[in-house]
Every structure is written in C-alpha cells, then in structure tokens.
Chains A and B, each alone.
Chain A
Amino acid sequence: AQSVTQLGSHVSVSEGALVLLRCNYSSSVPPYLFWYVQYPNQGLQLLLKYTSAATLVKGINGFEAEFKKSETSFHLTKPSAHMSDAAEYFCAVSATDKLIFGTGTRLQVFP
C-alpha cells in the first residue's frame, strides 16, 4: 500500500524567498512520485515527476524536487517565490496507475 504525508497544510513566504513544501511517502515497492499544483476552481497541473530516473527532478515554473529514498521524502523547492506561485500543491505517489494524494499544502506568497 502507498501513502503520502504532506507536513504543513499552509506555508507562507515572502516574494523572492525560498519555497519548501514537504512530502514524505510510504510504499512497499519502488514508487512513482508527483507534485501537482491546483489553482482555485481548476484542475491539476503536473509540476514534476520522479519515475526512477534522476533523483533530482526539475519541473516547470522553476520548481524542483529531490527523491531521497533513505528519508522516504520528495520535498518540493523553488529558490525564489513569485506571487503567481500562490496555489494549492499536492504530492502524490503511485506504484501502479492509481495515484494516492497527500492532503495538500496551500502556499501563500506575500509581497
């Protein structure tokens, strides 16, 4: 069985500051890991994914995440936050085609 834990339901940063959104996973088999972003009243947009290739994954909009098997983590980072990054972020894990989502982290960016 797979599960995902996102620490921190809300994260607030200043514009230009580092963004760090935490995700820890549990999986009995090598997982696929994903980060999605959701803007209000919209569907999900894939930011990046880990599919057992490089452990440091670069995504869209300047985001990246590092797969750390020893820590069972897949934290999402961005060096410099932009106002447009304010949204809900979901980490997800799958070992088959079924995606299991974390509870989400709402990112607020202050000017």
Chain B
Amino acid sequence: GAVVSQHPSRVICKSGTSVKIECRSLDFQATTMFWYRQFPKQSLMLMATSNEGSKATYEQGVEKDKFLINHASLTLSTLTVTSAHPEDSSFYICSAPRHAGTDYEQYFGPGTRLTVT
C-alpha cells in the first residue's frame, strides 16, 4: 500500500538553530501534502498545505517565515523550523492524499518529534 515516510523520526536541537523535516510519498505522487503539529495529549492542528510548484498555504496564526515549506518534487515536501525555540517542541506529522478512481485516502507519516533545548 501507499506509504509516507518522515525523516528524522526524532531530533533534538539547540535554541536558535534551524531544523529540516522531510516528508516523502514512497510509491505515489502527491502534488499536495499537509503538515500538522500535535502537542502532547492534544489533537492534530493543520499548519499548512504544501503545494508542488507553488507557495505553501498557511493556516491562520502559523508564521510562514518561521515554518518554511518547500515542495521540491511530486514526492517530497520539507518543513524547516527556523530559529527554533523551546515552544516549538512538538510532534510534527505530514500527510499526503491519494485519489484512485472514486477512492480517496490520506496517508500519514510516522511523525517527527522535535525537542528544542
């Protein structure tokens, strides 16, 4: 079946540094991918829609200069957390939708746990 991978699965960085998280669709092409953020014991909050070949669309309240998204190809989207601070520590999850005829499913990556010290 379709698989979405994320790398790294865990990352610890110092405050002020930048961290890049990759999201790949492994056996299908995704012109759109989504980035979510999940705080402990909370739901997934949609951060932005990553669009291949164009700018990402950010949800209200998400700083686009802080969370840089690049959809480099039909199978890769990256999220870069710039000048990370402890409050950016969270679980980041990406997803990619796949339409096959009348069937539709959203495939999720395994998530990346970011800890900023």
Residues of A bordering B, CB below 8 Å = 32, 34, 36, 41-44, 46, 49, 51, 90, 94, 97-104, 106
Secondary structure dominating the interface of B: strand
- List residues of chain B with CB within 8 A of the CB of A106: 41
The answer on a CB contact under 8 Å between A98 and B49 is yes
- List residues of chain B with CB within 8 A of the CB of A99: 34, 46, 95, 106
- List residues of chain A with CB within 8 A of the CB of B102: 51
The answer on a CB contact under 8 Å between B44 and A90 is yes
Q: Nearest-CB distance from B77 to chain A (Å)?
A: 13
Interface segment among B14-22, B68-76, B80-88, B109-117: the answer is B109-117
The answer on a CB contact under 8 Å between B103 and A101 is no
- List residues of chain B with CB within 8 A of the CB of A42: 110-111
Q: Bound complex: CA of A32 vs CA of B32, how far in Å?
A: 17
The answer on a CB contact under 8 Å between B106 and A43 is no
Whether B54 is near chain A, meaning CB under 8 Å from some CB there, is: no
Q: Nearest-CB distance from B50 to chain A (Å)?
A: 11
* CB nearest to A88 among chain B residues: B41
Within 8 Å by CB of B43, from A43, A51, A97, A101, lies A101
The answer on a CB contact under 8 Å between B106 and A97 is yes
Within 8 Å by CB of B106, from A34, A102, A103, lies A34
Within 8 Å by CB of A44, from B93, B97, B103, B104, lies B93
The answer on a CB contact under 8 Å between A43 and B42 is no
| Top-3 shortest CB links A-B | A97-B97, A43-B110, A44-B108
